[in-house]
Amino acid sequence: MAGMISYDIVIVGGGPAGLAAAVSAKKAGTDSILIIERDKELGGILNQCIHNGFGLHTFKEELTGPEYAYRFIEQVYDLGIEYKLDTMVMDISNDKVVTAMNRTEGMFQVKAGAVILAMGCRERPRGALNIPGYRPAGIYSAGTAQRLVNMEGYMPGREVVILGSGDIGLIMARRMTFEGAIVKVVAELMPFSGGLKRNIVQCLDDYGIPLKLSHTIVDIEGKERVSAVTIAEVGPDMKPIPGTEERYTCDTLLLSTGLIPENELSRGAGVEMNPVTNGPAVNEILETSIPGVFACGNVLHVHDLVDYVSEEATRAGANAAAYVQSGCKDAKEGGDIKLIATEGARYTVPGTINVSRMEDNLTVRFRVGAVFKDSYVSVYFDDERVQHRKKRIMAPGEMEQIILQKKKLQECPDLKTITIKIEAE
């Protein structure tokens, strides 16, 4: 193994989160930055997302995924930020030593003043779905199919059924239609879609593709290649209802059954995890339970818009830069306030707040666990309700947020908890 090298900040992942964090840290005055990316190019998952709809918040214009990524890649080039491609991080120790390897350097170690976790997320594996039937060719995750079509130039099939209504699956329904395939149905186990409303409209409704909620696949036919699938309606217990079966002939089955933050490295380092998001538990500066280790983007919690990933990563980069510039010292004063998500709200990011370190306005993001119509997002300081905002509709597929003001929290020096809940009135 080569001798250890040192950087002020090491960023694991060169996708949208890692790029935005690096640019932010550099602009905040830290020059010694290294991005480590396992793929052959920067940009992450955005390189295969050739559809538009990115950048409306960040750049006030509509971009494709590669265009959005290149806006940040160009800044990395212009700012002279170092990066290593085709390099796999093997381990992160709790004293911030990053062990990585690639073909040219072999295995090497980097001592970091601060580490930013930006590894993104992966698709939920099909093996967890327990679908009866054979295991033939023609079954792909939606993301794999997206890469095959958009980057490799291969067409997975011509008659398609999609299980799961996550955003990637919805977008691939439209993409496969563009390429001449017939998408017969999108089946979703839950009584609500896991994707954005705009994607349901633009990718399914506009092309007459049916979305069947509370349905799942109960049989897969075909030995060499999938030839048909059978779907059935499920009851409140999520079990198929006999007599509701529908059979669809197809040569391709795409699975869009959710995303999981990529946190094997985080767990190996001993980072405390949030059991709901499967990402690190972080405080108001996006710092994990290990001082000097920060997390942002989809490795922290799965986002609905890449613009929010970039916004969050920009904060993480600036905070990591402030940490190393302070001599890696904790600048907080007083105790932490715990954030609690309950009664319809599933989680919050961050999970704790220290008022002395927070910005003037702090965005707290969360998701709901079901579809709520004409309900209220309520915020309680201990037992006192301080926010009560009506929302026409809230759904699990779209992130919600509240804004907390530092001056309001400073007026409550003995505050212990902030609770977010969904109320009917």
> pLDDT tens, 201-245?
999 999 999 999 999 999 999 989 999 999 999 999 989 999 999
Strand arrangement, sheet containing 384-394: 352-353, 337-342, 417-423, 372-381, 384-394
- Rounded to two decimals, the pTM is 0.92
Which residues lie across from 404 on neighbouring strands? 362
d(CA 183, CA 9): 46
d(CA 244, CA 238): 14
Which among 222, 223, 243, 245 has a CA at the least distance from the CA of 232?
Answer: 245
| pLDDT, tens digit (0-9, with 9 covering 90-100), for 136-173 | 889 999 999 999 999 999 999 999 999 999 899 999 99
Burial of 146 (0-12, 13-18, 19+ CB in 10 A): buried
Q: Does residue 329 carry a pLDDT above 80?
A: no
pLDDT at residue number 332: 72
| pLDDT, tens digit (0-9, with 9 covering 90-100), for 38-76 | 999 999 999 999 998 899 888 999 999 999 999 999 999
DSSP assigned state of 204 = I
